[in-house]
C-alpha cells in the first residue's frame, strides 16, 4: 500500500518524520517494502501489505491504526450531509440483476446533473501523483481519490452516452467483448458478469469500466455507483482476463456493503465542491442487508495468549480507538460490535491480536521461562529414518520423493481406491514405493544419467482383508532402494547387496540374514523379518529397525577430562635410562602423557609433568586423581624415587 505522508497527516495529527512513521507502521504489521521515496517533493511510504486487511488498502484505514497506536485522535474526511433530491421514476437509472445474484451483494447509485467536467485542482492532482495515479479530470479523479482514501472502488458513467436508462447485471455471453477505458479490446467469458445497457456490455463487473460510457469534458450528468461483489468471482475473472488494477486489488479482499454508502457520500461532497451541479438519489440494490458481527473478548483468553496480565480498561480503550463499539462490559469480558471495515475479524483471537499489536509488541514484558523444557516427543522412527538417509547419501545414493497416487489396478485387492479422484491416472494409493520410484530410473535413463542408485523413504498403503473402519487400512513406513540394471543380473545383485550390507554395517547390525522366499529374499535381523531383497533393490520396514540399530541419532562423543600434576621426584641415584621410567608410567591406567623437565634436574631431583585423563566408563573425580597419583608414586618408588617434600 502506497501512503503519501502529507495525505496521511490529513487524518492523523502527528509531527513524526516519514522515517519515524515507518517505524510505527512496522510495529503495526505494515513494514516498508522499499526505501522511503520522494515524488514531486512529497515523501511516500510503500508499505508491504501481507495481512487480510481490506481497510489497509485505504489511507484512512492505515491512519486509523496509526492514530490508535500513537494514542491520538483520528480526523475523518468530510462527508456529504445534505439530502439528495428526489427524481421521478422515469428519470432514474433502473438497476436489475439477472442471473448473477450470488455475485452482486450491493449496488448503490446516485445521479448528478449540471456538473462541469474540468481539470482537477492542484491539491487533488498532487496527492494522486504521489500515489502513482495519473490525473484525468475532476470526476474520474474524485472516484480514484475516494477509492485510495477509503479503499472502496467507485465508477462514474456518462448518462448521455448510455444506450438506455438501465444498468443490467448478467453473465457475459460466449464471444462477447468490450473495449475498456484504456482502449483495450477484452474478450469475455460466461463466468464473468458484466453491466449492460440494451443488452450490450458497458462495464466488466468489479474489474474495469468501458470506454463507451466514459466521462470526458462533454459530460454534464453522470450516474455514480459503488458496489460490493463476490470477491472469489472477481479474483477468478481478473485472472482469466489477465486484468490487474487498483480496483481488482481491493475487490480481491472481502469488502463490506456498508462501505458503499460512505464512499458515495464522500464522493458526493467532493463532486458538489469541485464540479458543481445537483445530486439526486437513485436506486440502491441491496436485497439482503448484512448485519455487523458481535464478538466477545475475555481477560482469561487475552492473558493466556499474551502471557501477561492486561487490564480491561486498556482492552476497551484500544478496541474503541480502532472502531469497535462496546455492546456489553463486565469485569471479565467485553462484547463489541465489529466495525464494517474489519471483515477479517472472525474469532476472539483476532480481537486479542488487535489489542497486543496496538499496545506495541515491544512493550510485552520479557520474562524467563520457568520450569523444565518439554520432553522429546519425536517418535524414534523419525530418527531412524534420518539416520538411514544420512548413511545412504554418504554411499552416494540420490533421495527422491514420489507421489503416492497411482492408477487403479482392478487385480490388486490390497489397493485403496479414492472416492473423489482428480483423474483416472491418480485414482488409488500405491501399495509399494517401488511402483512410483521406478519411474525415476526411467527418467534417469532417458537423460543418459547412469549408475546412480536411488532411494525413497515414505509410506505404502494397504487395504486388509479383515477389519472394519480405520482398522481395515494399514500404512507401512518403508525405505525403498533401487539399483539401475548393470550388464548382468549378477552385477546388479552384487551392487544391491553391497548397498544393503554397507548400510547394516554402518547401523551396527551384525545379525543380518538373507533367506530365500518365493519371489525374493527375506531380510531378517535376530529372526525377525525387516525387509525384502530383490536383484535390483531392497526395501526395509523402518519401524522394525528402530530397536535393532546401534544408533538412531547423530553420534555422541564423550569429551575426556584432562588434568595435570607436577611431581618433584628425588632419586637415590638418577636412573641410567629415563625412557624405561617414562614407559612404565605411560602404561598405567588414566595416564595420557608423561613429560620430564630435564632443565630442572638437580640434586638427583627430576620434575615430572603427569597428565591424567578420564575414560569412557568413568569421570575424573578428586578421588580418582588421588588414586592415579598414588599409583604413579608407587611406580617411581620402584626405581628409587620419592616425592620431594621440601
H-helix segments, 29-158: 59-69, 122-131, 138-150
Range with the largest mean pLDDT of 117-121, 302-306, 639-643: 117-121
pLDDT at 361: 81
Task: Quick: pLDDT tens for 327-359.
Answer: 999 999 999 999 999 999 999 999 999 999 998
In angstroms, the Cα distances linking 533 to 47, 240, 530, 544, 566 are 59, 52, 10, 15, 61
Domain boundaries along the sequence of the chain: 2-69, 89-285, 294-361, 380-545, 562-643
pLDDT at 557: 44
Strands (DSSP E) contained in 66-127 are: 94-97, 104-113
pLDDT at 450: 84
User: Rounded distance, CA 557 to CA 568, Å?
Assistant: 35
**Cell numbers that stand for 403 in this block:** 507421489
User: Rounded distance, CA 502 to CA 505, Å?
Assistant: 5
Q: Which class would CATH give 380-545?
A: alpha beta
Please answer whether residues 6 and 17 qualify as being in contact, where contact means their C-beta atoms are separated by less than 8 angstroms. Answer: no
Q: Which of 395, 417, 391 is nearest to 405 (CA)?
A: 417
Q: What angle do CA 358, 39, 144 make, to 5 degrees?
A: 70
Residues 6 or more apart whose CB falls under 8 angstroms from that of 524 comprise: 512, 513, 514, 515, 530
User: Rounded distance, CA 389 to CA 17, Å?
Assistant: 54
Instruction: Determine whether domain 89-285 maps to CATH 3.50.40.10.
Output: yes
Q: What angle do CA 523, 528, 534 make, to 5 degrees?
A: 15
- In the chain, pLDDT over 70 holds for what percent of residues? 96
**Cell numbers that stand for 264 in this block:** 458515495
Q: What is the pTM of this model?
A: 0.64
Please answer whether residues 636 and 565 qualify as being in contact, where contact means their C-beta atoms are separated by less than 8 angstroms. Answer: no
Secondary structure (DSSP) of 405-432: EE---TT-TTPPBPSS-SSGGG-EE-S-
pLDDT at 551: 55
User: What pLDDT band is residue 539 in, cutting at 50, 70 and 90?
Assistant: very high
Please answer whether residues 267 and 154 qualify as being in contact, where contact means their C-beta atoms are separated by less than 8 angstroms. Answer: yes
Instruction: Return the residue matching grid coordinates 536411488.
Output: 454
Instruction: Return the residue matching grid coordinates 462533454.
Output: 218
Angle between helices 312-321 and 59-69 (to 10 degrees): 150
Residue 333, Cβ neighbours under 10 Å: how many? 17
Secondary structure (DSSP) of 115-133: ----PPPHHHHHHHHHHT-
Residue 320, Cβ neighbours under 10 Å: how many? 14
**CATH number, span 2-69:** 3.30.56.10
Residue 47, Cβ neighbours under 10 Å: how many? 21
Task: Quick: pLDDT tens for 594-629.
Answer: 777 654 556 778 888 888 887 656 777 888 888 888
- Helix, strand, coil tally for the chain in percent (to 5): 30, 25, 40
Residue 563 has pLDDT above 90, yes or no: no
Task: Quick: pLDDT tens for 203-258.
Answer: 999 999 999 999 999 999 999 999 999 999 999 999 999 999 999 999 999 999 99
Burial class for 140, CB neighbours closer than 10 Å (0-12, 13-18, 19+) = buried
What average pLDDT does the segment 363-389 reach?
84
Q: Which residues pair with 169 in a beta bridge?
A: 97, 195
Please answer whether residues 533 and 418 qualify as being in contact, where contact means their C-beta atoms are separated by less than 8 angstroms. Answer: no
User: Rounded distance, CA 254 to CA 355, Å?
Assistant: 22
Q: Which of 59-68, 252-261, 484-493, 592-601 has the lowest mean pLDDT?
A: 592-601
CA-CA-CA-CA dihedral for 522, 524, 528, 534, to nearest 10: -30
pLDDT at 20: 94
Task: Quick: pLDDT tens for 176-194.
Answer: 999 999 899 999 999 999 9
Q: How many CA atoms lie within 13 A of 429 on its CB side?
A: 18
**CATH superfamily label, 562-643:** Ferrodoxin-fold anticodon-binding domain (3.30.70.380)
**Cell numbers that stand for 204 in this block:** 466488466
User: What pLDDT band is residue 295 in, cutting at 50, 70 and 90?
Assistant: very high
- In the chain, pLDDT over 90 holds for what percent of residues? 66
Position with higher pLDDT, 599 vs 640:
640
Please answer whether residues 266 and 272 qualify as being in contact, where contact means their C-beta atoms are separated by less than 8 angstroms. Answer: no
Burial class for 217, CB neighbours closer than 10 Å (0-12, 13-18, 19+) = exposed
Cβ contacts of 459-465, under 8 Å, gap ≥ 24: 459/404, 460/430, 460/431, 460/432, 460/433, 461/404, 461/416, 461/429, 461/430, 461/431, 462/414, 462/416, 462/431, 463/413, 463/414, 463/415, 463/416, 464/414, 465/413
User: Rounded distance, CA 133 to CA 136, Å?
Assistant: 9
Q: Do strands 591-602 and 537-541 pair parallel, antiparallel, or not at all (unpaired)?
A: unpaired
Residue 112 has pLDDT above 90, yes or no: yes
User: What pLDDT band is residue 526 in, cutting at 50, 70 and 90?
Assistant: confident
CA-CA-CA-CA dihedral for 116, 117, 121, 123, to nearest 10: 120
Q: Which residues pair with 294 in a beta bridge?
A: 337
Q: What angle do CA 608, 610, 616 make, to 5 degrees?
A: 170
Task: Quick: pLDDT tens for 435-469.
Answer: 999 999 999 988 888 889 999 999 999 999 887 88
Instruction: Determine whether domain 294-361 maps to CATH 3.30.70.270.
Output: no
CA 580 to the chain's CA centroid: 70
pLDDT at 451: 86
pLDDT at 559: 53
Q: What angle do CA 253, 258, 263 make, to 5 degrees?
A: 85
User: Rounded distance, CA 444 to CA 466, Å?
Assistant: 40
Q: Which of 53, 43, 51, 50 is nearest to 22 (CA)?
A: 43
Strands (DSSP E) contained in 423-466 are: 428-429, 454-463
What is the overall mean pLDDT for the chain?
A: 90
Task: Quick: pLDDT tens for 390-430.
Answer: 999 989 999 999 999 999 998 998 999 998 888 988 999 99
User: What pLDDT band is residue 552 in, cutting at 50, 70 and 90?
Assistant: very low
Instruction: Please provide residue 364's backbone torsions phi and psi, each rounded to the nearest 5 degrees.
Output: -70, 125
Asked, colleague to colleague, whether 2-69 and 294-361 share their fold, the answer is yes
Maximum Cα interatomic distance, the chain, rounded to a whole number of Å: 133
User: What pLDDT band is residue 171 in, cutting at 50, 70 and 90?
Assistant: very high
User: Rounded distance, CA 422 to CA 570, Å?
Assistant: 91
Residue 471 has pLDDT above 90, yes or no: no
Instruction: Please provide residue 597's backbone torsions phi and psi, each rounded to the nearest 5 degrees.
Output: -90, 90
pLDDT at 556: 44
Amino acid at each position: 500500500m502506497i501512503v503519501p505522508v502529507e495525505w496521511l497527516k490529513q487524518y492523523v495529527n502527528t509531527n513524526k518524520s516519514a522515517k519515524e512513521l515507518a517505524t510505527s507502521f512496522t510495529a503495526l504489521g505494515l513494514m516498508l517494502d522499499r526505501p522511503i521515496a520522494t515524488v514531486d517533493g512529497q515523501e511516500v511510504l510503500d508499505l508491504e501489505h501481507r495481512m487480510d486487511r481490506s481497510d489497509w488498502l485505504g489511507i484512512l484505514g492505515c491512519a486509523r491504526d496509526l492514530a490508535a497506536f500513537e494514542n491520538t485522535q483520528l480526523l475523518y474526511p468530510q462527508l456529504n450531509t445534505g439530502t439528495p433530491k428526489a427524481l421521478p421514476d422515469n428519470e432514474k437509472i433502473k438497476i436489475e440483476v439477472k442471473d448473477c445474484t450470488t455475485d452482486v451483494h450491493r449496488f448503490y447509485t446516485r445521479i448528478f446533473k449540471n456538473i462541469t467536467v474540468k481539470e482537477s485542482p492542484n491539491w487533488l492532482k498532487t496527492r494522486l501523483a504521489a500515489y502513482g495515479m495519473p490525473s484525468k479530470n475532476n470526476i474520474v479523479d474524485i472516484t480514484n481519490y475516494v477509492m485510495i482514501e477509503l479503499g472502496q472502488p467507485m465508477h462514474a458513467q456518462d448518462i448521455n452516452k448510455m444506450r438506455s436508462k438501465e444498468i443490467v447485471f448478467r453473465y457475459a455471453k460466449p464471444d462477447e467483448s468490450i473495449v475498456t477505458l484504456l482502449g483495450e479490446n477484452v474478450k469475455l467469458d460466461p463466468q464473468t458478469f458484466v453491466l449492460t445497457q440494451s443488452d450490450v456490455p458497458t462495464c466488466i463487473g468489479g474489474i474495469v469500466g468501458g470506454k463507451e460510457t466514459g466521462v470526458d469534458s462533454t459530460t454534464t450528468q453522470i450516474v455514480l455507483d459503488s458496489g460490493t461483489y463476490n470477491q472469489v468471482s472477481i479474483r477468478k475473472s481478473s485472472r482469466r482476463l489477465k486484468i490487474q488494477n487498483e480496483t481488482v486489488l481491493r475487490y480481491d479482499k472481502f469488502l463490506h456493503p456498508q462501505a458503499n454508502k460512505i464512499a458515495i457520500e464522500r464522493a458526493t461532497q467532493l463532486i458538489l465542491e469541485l464540479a458543481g451541479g445537483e445530486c439526486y438519489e437513485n436506486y440502491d440494490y441491496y436485497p439482503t442487508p448484512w448485519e455487523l458481527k458481535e464478538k466477545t473478548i475475555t481477560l482469561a483468553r487475552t492473558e493466556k495468549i499474551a502471557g501477561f496480565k492486561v487490564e480491561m480498561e486498556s482492552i476497551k480503550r484500544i478496541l474503541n480507538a480502532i472502531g469497535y463499539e462496546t455492546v456489553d462490559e463486565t469485569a471479565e469480558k467485553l462484547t463489541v460490535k465489529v466495525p464494517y471495515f474489519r471483515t477479517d475479524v472472525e474469532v476472539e483471537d483476532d480481537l486479542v491480536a488487535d489489542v497486543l499489536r496496538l499496545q506495541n509488541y515491544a512493550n510485552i514484558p520479557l520474562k524467563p521461562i520457568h520450569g523444565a523444557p518439554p520432553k522429546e516427543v519425536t517418535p524414534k522412527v523419525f530418527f531412524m529414518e534420518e539416520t538411514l538417509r544420512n548413511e545412504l547419501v554418504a554411499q552416494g545414493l540420490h533421495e527422491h520423493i514420489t507421489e503416492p497416487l497411482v492408477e487403479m489396478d482392478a487385480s490388486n485387492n490390497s489397493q485403496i481406491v479414492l472416492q473423489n479422484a482428480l483423474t483416472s491416472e491418480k485414482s488409488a494409493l500405491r501399495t509399494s514405493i517401488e511402483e512410483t520410484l521406478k519411474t525415476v530410473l526411467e527418467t534417469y535413463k532417458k537423460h543418459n544419467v547412469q549408475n546412480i542408485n536411488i532411494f525413497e523413504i515414505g509410506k505404502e498403503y494397504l487395504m486388509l482383508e479383515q477389519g472394519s473402519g480405520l482398522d481395515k487400512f494399514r500404512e507401512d513406513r518403508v525405505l525403498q532402494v533401487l539399483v539401475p540394471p548393470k550388464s548382468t543380473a549378477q552385477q546388479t545383485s552384487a551392487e544391491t547387496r553391497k548397498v544393503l550390507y554397507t548400510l547394516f554395517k554402518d547401523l551396527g547390525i551384525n545379525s543380518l540374514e538373507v533367506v530365500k522366499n518365493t519371489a525374493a529374499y527375506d531380510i531378517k535381523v535376530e529372526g525377525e523379518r525387516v525387509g525384502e531383497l530383490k536383484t535390483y533393490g531392497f526395501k526395509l520396514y523402518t519401524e522394525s529397525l528402530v530397536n535393532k540399530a546401534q544408533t538412531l541419532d547423530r553420534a555422541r562423543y564423550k569429551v575426556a577430562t584432562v588434568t595435570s600434576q607436577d611431581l618433584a621426584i628425588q632419586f637415590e641415584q638418577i636412573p641410567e635410562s629415563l625412557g624405561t621410567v617414562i614407559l612404565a608410567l605411560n602404561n598405567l591406567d588414566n595416564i595420557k602423557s608423561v613429560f620430564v623437565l630435564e632443565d630442572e634436574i638437580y640434586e638427583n631431583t627430576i620434575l615430572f609433568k603427569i597428565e591424567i585423563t578420564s575414560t569412557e566408563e568413568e569421570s575424573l573425580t578428586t578421588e580418582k586423581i588421588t588414586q592415579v597419583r598414588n599409583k604413579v608414586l608407587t611406580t617411581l618408588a620402584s626405581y628409587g624415587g620419592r616425592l620431594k617434600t621440601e
